[in-house]
Amino acid sequence: MRLLVVEDDLPLAEALKTLLTSSGYAVDCVHDGASAEALAAVEQFDLVILDLNLPQMEGLEVLRAMRARANPASVMILTARGAAEDRVRGLDLGADDYMAKPFDVREFEARVRSLLRRQAGLRSATVTLGALSLDLTTRQFSADDHALDLPPRERALLELLLTRAGKVVTKEAIVQSLTSLEDMLSDNAIEQYVSRIRRRIVAYGLNLRTVRGIGYLLEKAAER
């Protein structure tokens, strides 16, 4: 999942980026409204965490511009402005959640997970295919009731594939979801991660199929 943090308080922005990156998300960070609006216009994000009191362009104007372009990203407003009229205006303009500073980190993380589940079209906190399960709260994989440990990039890729099981996930979607602007992910690297995942999941009744020229599809293996 790819997130954009828009926060002009630099220490807080860095803390949020570190927190979210440690949870396995790809995170970009900007510190003014104009940069946020420009980046959201050309890049795809699953979630935008948006302050309101921003230089150059206020957060609500960023939100208004995003929704005017029918940008589908979920938006969480995270701001010191906690008055009811501010909440109402933000939600009416198209924010999906509104959280006032100061905030509890655990609640913030829970709200992020909830918004990302909603963005992926998932209602349950657990996704299961074959013998493989993913707890979206802890972001922990398990198979046959045993925890399955994966390196961060493989875990992020398998999460993307599992939450879209039965659908083709393009290489472009993988790059968009797994990398920030500071990262690079080549086709060769993607193929290596796919190969490693494919070897891991075959024992759990799953098949990761290559759709030539397009991407990959995670599905149950055919019964013999």
pLDDT value at 123 more than 70: no
pLDDT in tens, 193-213: 999 999 989 888 899 999 988
pLDDT value at 23 more than 90: no
pLDDT value at 68 more than 60: yes
pLDDT in tens, 138-187: 888 998 878 888 888 888 899 999 999 999 999 998 988 888 888 888 88
Structurally, at CATH architecture level, domain 2-119 sits in 3-Layer(aba) Sandwich (3.40)
Domain ranges of the chain: 2-119, 126-220
pLDDT in tens, 31-54: 999 999 999 999 989 999 999 999
Write down the pTM of the prediction. Answer: 0.81
Note the pLDDT of residue 223.
63
More confident residue, 22 or 161: 161
Q: Which residue pairs, CB below 8 angstroms and at least 24 apart, start in 103-112?
A: 103/78, 105/19, 108/78, 109/19, 109/23, 110/137, 111/76, 112/3, 112/20, 112/47, 112/49, 112/76
CATH of 126-220, one of 3.40.50.720, 1.10.10.10, 3.30.1330.20, 3.30.465.10: 1.10.10.10
- Mean pLDDT across 5-32: 93
CA angle 162, 25, 10 (to 5 degrees): 165
- Mean pLDDT across 121-140: 83
Percent of the chain scoring above 70 in pLDDT: 98
